[in-house]
Structures are given as C-alpha cells and as structure tokens.
Amino acid sequence: MNLKQLSEHLNLSQTTVSRALNGYPEVSESTRTRVLKAAQDLNYRPNLRAKGLATGRALAIGHVIPVSNQHEMVNPVFGDFIAGAGESYAREGFDMMLKLVPDSDETRAYEDIRARGTVDGIIVHGPVINDERIALLSRIGLPFVVHGRSTDVALPYSWIDVNNRGAFERGTQFLIELGHRSIALLNGLEHMDFAFRRRKGYETALRNHGISVDASLMRSEEMTEIYGYRAAKEMLSRSKRPTAFVCSSIITAIGVRRAVHEAGLVLARDVSIITHDDALSYLENGDDVPIFTALRSSVRYAGAEAADMLLSLIAIPKNAPKTRLLEADLIIGRSTGPAVT
Amino acid sequence: MNLKQLSEHLNLSQTTVSRALNGYPEVSESTRTRVLKAAQDLNYRPNLRAKGLATGRALAIGHVIPVSNQHEMVNPVFGDFIAGAGESYAREGFDMMLKLVPDSDETRAYEDIRARGTVDGIIVHGPVINDERIALLSRIGLPFVVHGRSTDVALPYSWIDVNNRGAFERGTQFLIELGHRSIALLNGLEHMDFAFRRRKGYETALRNHGISVDASLMRSEEMTEIYGYRAAKEMLSRSKRPTAFVCSSIITAIGVRRAVHEAGLVLARDVSIITHDDALSYLENGDDVPIFTALRSSVRYAGAEAADMLLSLIAIPKNAPKTRLLEADLIIGRSTGPAVT
DNA sequence: AGGATTTTCCAAAGCGCTTTGAGTTTCGCC
DNA sequence: GGCGAAACTCAAAGCGCTTTGGAAAATCCT
C-alpha cells in the first residue's frame, strides 16, 4: 500500500492525501479525517526512504565510534548513554544508527556519512584532546553534538559534558580532608579529553593542599576491572603503599576492591576508594548505602539531553551551538574512611 | 556532487556512469577506470536514500529491543553482541540501526519497520518462551535472526544460541562432583528463554545425582550486581547455607563474591561460585588464572555470526532458515573448590 | 447578481539513483 | 566489402514521496 494506491482508493490526488496526512492546513477537516481513517484501515505507512529523498531528511541520528576506540561500544557507560538518547529519539520518531568509523581516513568517513544521507546529524563519542573531528564536522556542515569536550579546540560547537575536573578535584579533596596524603589515581586513557581533565582536577586538589604529585601513583588505562586489580595490587605491595584510590569507573573500583581484599586489607579502614561513574544500570552502587563513595552523574540523563540538543539543532539549523555542563554529586558510601596514620 | 553532475562532467550518460560504478559488464574497461577516477577526484558518493529507493534495499540492519526489556540495551552482554555484529556489517557496507519497540502493539511496530523500509532485516533480541514475534515476522516476511531461541515455537526460523541447558547442566554437575549438595541458582528472568533453559540444565544435573530441587535456592531476576549480593547475603545467613552458587552472569557473580566476603567467608573454600557469561570486554574474568570458574562462550563472536547469517539470508532470500548452536567451555578458575562436609 | 476572496483540490516536477529497451559503433569473418 | 554479432552507450521510465504553481469550487461582500 503506497500513497498512490491510497489516493486512488480515496478518489483524491496524491497531493491532497499527502497534505492531509502531514497536517497541512489547506485541506478540509472532513477530508482529513476521511484520509486518516482510510490510512489506518488500509494499514498505510509512508516509505521513509522515499520521504527522506523528497524532504532531504533522514529521520535518523548517527552515533559515531572511532574504530581505534572500539571498546567504547562495549563500555557500559556507552550503553547507558544510548539508552538515554534512544528514549528521546523514539519520542520524536527518529531512528538511531550506530557507526563504526575507521580512523585511517576520518575526513573521508565523515564526508561519507554526510553524502550518503542516512542520518540528519551525529553524536560524537570519545573526544580526545584537540579533536580534529570538530573542525571537520563544522566544515562539512553536518549537525553534531559531542559527548564530552575537546581541550584546545577554539571553534564553538555543541557539547554536553560532566564537570570532570571539578568532580575529581572535589573527590580528591574529600580524601585529603580525611587525612589521606598518598592518593593514587587510576585514570582512563589520558589522550581522551575526559581523562585529561580528571587528572587536572586531581592534581589541583593535591597542589592546593601542598601535596606533591607523585607520578608513580598515577595510571592511565582503559577502565576495566583487571586494570584496577593489577594497578592496586602492585601499589599495595609497596612498602609505602597508598591509603586511597581515586578511580575513573566503578568497574575499575571493583578491581581495586578485589586487590584490597586479596591483600588482606579492609576497605575504608586500611584503604579508601572513591570512584566516578558509579551509576551504571547493571552495576548499581549498592542500594541505600552505596558501596563506594562516588562522584555520581547520570550518564543516561546525559544521553537524553544530548539527543534533545541535537534534535533541536537539526530542527533549527541556524541556532548557535548549545553547551551543557553537568555537575557530579559527591555521594558518601562505605569505601572511604579516615587515613590511618 | 551527484550522478547527474558526474555524468555531465564525464560527457557520459547517467546509465553508463552508474554501470561503471557498480561493476556491470557492459561497460569497457577504459570507460570504467575513467569514471572511477573522476568519482574519486570529485569526491562523488552515491546517496544511499536514492539508491535504496531505486533498488529496494536499505543497506541497514535493525537491532530490535522490546521496550519492556529496555534494560537489555544497557546489559553489557548486549554491548558485546553488537560490537561483534558491527564488525560484520562494516565489512559488508551495512549500517546498524537500534530500535526500541513498544510491546503495546508489536504487530504494528514490526509492520512499521518493514513498511518504512529503513532496514533489510532485523536481529531479534531477548526472545521469551513462545515468543510471538517469530510468527509475526515470518508472516510479514521481514528477514530476521534471533539471538537465542524460543521454546514452544514450532515454525522454522533462523537463530544462533549457546547451549544454555547443556552449559548449566555441566556447570552444576561440576559442582556436584566437587561434593556440593546445596547449590543455589541465581538465574536471569525466567520468562526469558535462555534463563528457562538454564534452569532446566541445572535441575537435570541435580536430578541425575539424586539431589532434590529446592525452590528456596533458586532466584530469578535481572542479572545485576546488587541482585547477586542480596540473594547471596540472604542465603548465606541461613543456618543451613548453600555451599555453591551458579550464576547467570559475571556481574551477578561479583555481587555474590561481595556477599561472601562480607560474611567473612572465603571463596572456593567456604563457598564456590560458577558463572556463565564471564567474557565481557570491560569485566574480564581475571587473566591467566580466571577469578571465577566459568561457562564461557564469546558473545562477541555470536554477534558476528548472527550478522553474517542475516546478511546471507538477505542476499539469498529463498535460503532455508539457518541455525547455530554454540557450546560453552567450562573454564576452571579460582572460585570453586571441594565442598566442606 | 457578480466580482473578490477564501477554501479545496490537483497535475506535474522534482529528490538521486537503477534498469529497461533500444540505438549506435566496432569487430570478426567469409 | 558486407553481414551478423558483440561491445558500448543512451534516453527515459520508474522507486514513493513532497511541494510548487495553479485551477476549480465554495464563500463572502456590496
């Protein structure tokens, strides 16, 4: 059943039927209801491909993941983010497209996305410091919103981000106030912008309290469980071991906890842990009383917001870039306590 | 730059250019290379929407997630699966589309997917027992592959699944052979087909060894960490506590481990754990020596296989349904030991 | 009643591509 | 040299929808 058949069935022109269906004013109410009824009865649905071809809109949003950073896709944080975004899209009748793009020829890849015309805009994931994609996308004129920011990029662009620097400064300071002086940082990969900012925050807190930054207490890797375990195991085996850990993800924190247990130490008494991103759907941070003291901000909410920003950018292209900085809350859990001196 | 402009630039007809580009034989090699070169130089890319309209193919695959089961999307298992599928799609030039479909009017939703024409086929996630979607999709003729199976569905259909029943029977038997008699099952939601099968496997092993099935040792919930923790905490507080746990996911197993520690018990000595789905990207199960004894099968591989199956089904529609049963390996880790008697 | 509006409807031209059906060249062969 | 076959190339008709530029019908006004 297509438009033509429907209009023949109704003894109307395609124009009228199309207008009736799409809510244009130049069609009488009686005709409109008649058309709507027939469409319903005959199970008519417009072909989106044809519609897109005619209107130039695809009714779809792309989520772009650099292949180099493919693990991103499998990162539970990503799942939460797109779950949030998905809700917004569904509400507006948009589809969500996942795209793995090779980093070899990014220019080509993004131009491709634009030229193929299968999406109206994209969400850029995993921005690095001075991310070239931002200039590229601005140049080729594909609407986009970045999940995160990119230090050193001067151009205006739309983004939504959590205050990573502020959160880590706050968290580190919290540990310092508990008396900790030897605080380890288990960061994500520091070419990623969010991780870079987190380190800045951590360092700022230390400096503010006259504690020297010790490179041997800082690690930067993909935020897996095993990473947290290995790093903590090694650090805890030192003669002068750290008394606290700041982790970039609850998954890493779980690894640290494993190492703490294995070393026969007790959480919060011998070793404190504070973590960011603790509110993942399948890995909730305990219930009323959180397991880990955490810097919490809803990734899912960020996803929904990012989607809404992008949709409005697409609806009104001349709009100026929008930005949104979310603050993480410090949630006190059972993984932190005063430093033993 | 579109086909028309390109052909004008080359002084050829659109037909010839199109044929040259798409590898049709009725164009001379010299013309073809000339066209290819120009396309490259002028940065020409076909508009997929137009192409799709003309050919009737969308070059995209939909991954469909029932809204009721929306957590699925955020389940790390899902992330691994689509990462695997994504690789296959990328290789074949297909896009991946994520669709949240409301369960209220499934018939309508799936007919919609078909009529809108934005995908050539779909992967069905989270099949339940006697899943109606299978008959529905067969009827409306949209190619599909199910990740999992659906007990009680008689129709032939394409699926890829792991031998859940066999795996759980094997795992449970392994514990029995270690001397365990009081073995708890922390299963996923049992209206889901995979969980149903897992319980069957667990029960079979018990019965084979003359151990009675104890409903108080069986739980069925979404496989989160907190679920594992709560269930284990409760069970371990009993006067006659279970000596072993069979978990449906490493995330739940991590929760059980937490409860075990908290109760002052020692893993493998006082309580054994065996888990399925331990090979998630961000939650690797230790390194050389796995943390948990596990029933391992690569979800990522399953994703890639499912994608390949679907693509071949689309390429040759008259092909009979394909099925693929993967076996899980029993990997011995440090979470199991002989029962203390 | 008759002209000016307003309302309602339509034919046809795209959107960018593929593919059919046919025309024009070129080539091999007797 | 002339014929048929093979090799190239093309114009035009879709694919299913939107939208422009009017036309026809209904309504209003004096």
| A97-111 residue pLDDT tens | 998 777 777 778 888
Q: Which residues of B212-234 are buried (b: 16+ CB within 10 A; e: fewer)?
A: eeeeebbbbbbbbbbbbbbbbbe
Residue B265: per-residue pLDDT: 95
Number of H helices, E strands in chain A: 12, 12
Looking at the fold, whether A220 and A273 belong to one and the same domain comes out as: yes
Looking at the fold, whether A96 and A132 belong to one and the same domain comes out as: yes
Looking at the fold, whether B261 and B322 belong to one and the same domain comes out as: no
Looking at the fold, whether B283 and B170 belong to one and the same domain comes out as: yes
Which residue's entry shows tokens 């190619």?
B143
Which bases on strand D have an atom closer than 7 Å to a protein beta carbon? 7-22
More confident residue, A43 or B237: B237
Task: Give the span between the Cα atoms of A162 and A301, in whole angstroms.
Answer: 11
Reported as a pLDDT band with limits 50, 70 and 90, residue A340 is confident
Mean pLDDT, chain A, rounded, equals 91
Q: Is residue A201 part of a domain?
A: yes
Q: Is residue B341 part of a domain?
A: no
The arithmetic mean of pLDDT across residues A159-163, rounded, is 97
- Which residues sit opposite B180 in a β-bridge? none
Residue A197: per-residue pLDDT: 97
Mean pLDDT, chain B, rounded, equals 91
Looking at the fold, whether B139 and B169 belong to one and the same domain comes out as: no
Looking at the fold, whether A172 and A278 belong to one and the same domain comes out as: yes
Q: Is residue B246 part of a domain?
A: yes
- Whether A251 contacts A222, CB under 8 Å: no
B29: contact with A, CB 8 A cutoff: no
Q: Is residue A304 part of a domain?
A: yes
Which bases on strand C have an atom closer than 7 Å to a protein beta carbon? 7-12, 14-21
Neighboring chain A residues of B70 at a CB cutoff of 8 Å: 83
Reported as a pLDDT band with limits 50, 70 and 90, residue A1 is confident
Q: Is residue B147 part of a domain?
A: yes
Which residue's entry shows tokens 């060894």?
B209
| Phi then psi dihedrals of residue B129, to 5 deg | -65, 135
Q: How many CB atoms lie within 10 A of CB A109?
A: 19
Structure-token pair, residue B278: 């331990």
- B70: nearest CB among A49, A83, A95: A83
Task: Give the span between the Cα atoms of A177 and A195, in whole angstroms.
Answer: 23
Low-confidence ranges of chain B (pLDDT < 70): 69-70, 72-73, 341
- Whether A239 contacts A336, CB under 8 Å: no
Residue B65: per-residue pLDDT: 84
Q: Is residue A153 part of a domain?
A: yes
Q: How many domains does chain B have?
A: 3
Residue A283: per-residue pLDDT: 84
Residue A326: per-residue pLDDT: 97
Residue A242: per-residue pLDDT: 97
Looking at the fold, whether A158 and A171 belong to one and the same domain comes out as: no
Residue A297: per-residue pLDDT: 93
Minimum-distance nucleotide, CA of B28 to C1': D8
In 3D space, the residue among A154, A160, A148, A226 whose CA is nearest the CA of residue A192 turns out to be: A148
- A49: nearest CB among B52, B83, B226: B52
Q: Is residue A116 part of a domain?
A: yes
Residue B73: per-residue pLDDT: 63
Q: Which residue is nearest to nucleotide D19 (CA to C1')?
A: A15
The lowest-confidence range among A182-186, A242-246, B67-71 is B67-71
- Whether A140 contacts A108, CB under 8 Å: no
Q: Which residue is nearest to nucleotide C12 (CA to C1')?
A: A15
Q: What domain range is B271 assigned to? A: 164-297
Q: How many CB atoms lie within 10 A of CB A218?
A: 18
Looking at the fold, whether A158 and A305 belong to one and the same domain comes out as: yes
Looking at the fold, whether A285 and A322 belong to one and the same domain comes out as: no
In 3D space, the residue among A98, A220, A121 whose CA is nearest the CA of residue B94 turns out to be: A98
Q: Is A249 helix (H, G, I), strand (E, B) or coil?
A: coil
Instruction: Select from A282, A298, A314 the last residue of a domain.
Output: A298
Residue to test with chain A: of B5, B44, B55, B74, most A Cβ within 10 A: B74
CATH of the domain at A247: 3.40.50.2300
Q: Is A54 helix (H, G, I), strand (E, B) or coil?
A: helix
Distances (CA, A) of B162 to B12, B192, B297, B307: 54, 14, 7, 16
State which residue of chain A sits closest to B300, comparing Cα positions.
A74
Residue B99: per-residue pLDDT: 84
Minimum-distance nucleotide, CA of B22 to C1': C18
Q: Which residue is nearest to nucleotide C6 (CA to C1')?
A: A26
Looking at the fold, whether B64 and B77 belong to one and the same domain comes out as: yes
CA of A30 to C1' of C2 (A): 29
CB–CB contacts below 8 A, A to B: 155
More confident residue, A205 or A83: A205
Residue B69: per-residue pLDDT: 66
Reported as a pLDDT band with limits 50, 70 and 90, residue A31 is confident
Residue A204: per-residue pLDDT: 98
- Contact B97/A95, CB-based, under 8 Å? yes
Looking at the fold, whether A207 and A236 belong to one and the same domain comes out as: yes
CATH of the domain at B31: 1.10.260.40
Task: Give the span between the Cα atoms of B71 and B303, in whole angstroms.
Answer: 18
Looking at the fold, whether B131 and B225 belong to one and the same domain comes out as: no
Q: Is residue B233 part of a domain?
A: yes
Element (H, E) at B139: helix B132-140
Task: Give the span between the Cα atoms of B175 and B195, in whole angstroms.
Answer: 19
Distances (CA, A) of A246 to A48, A275, A283, A329, B314: 48, 6, 18, 15, 49
Whether A73 shows a pLDDT value over 80: the answer reads no
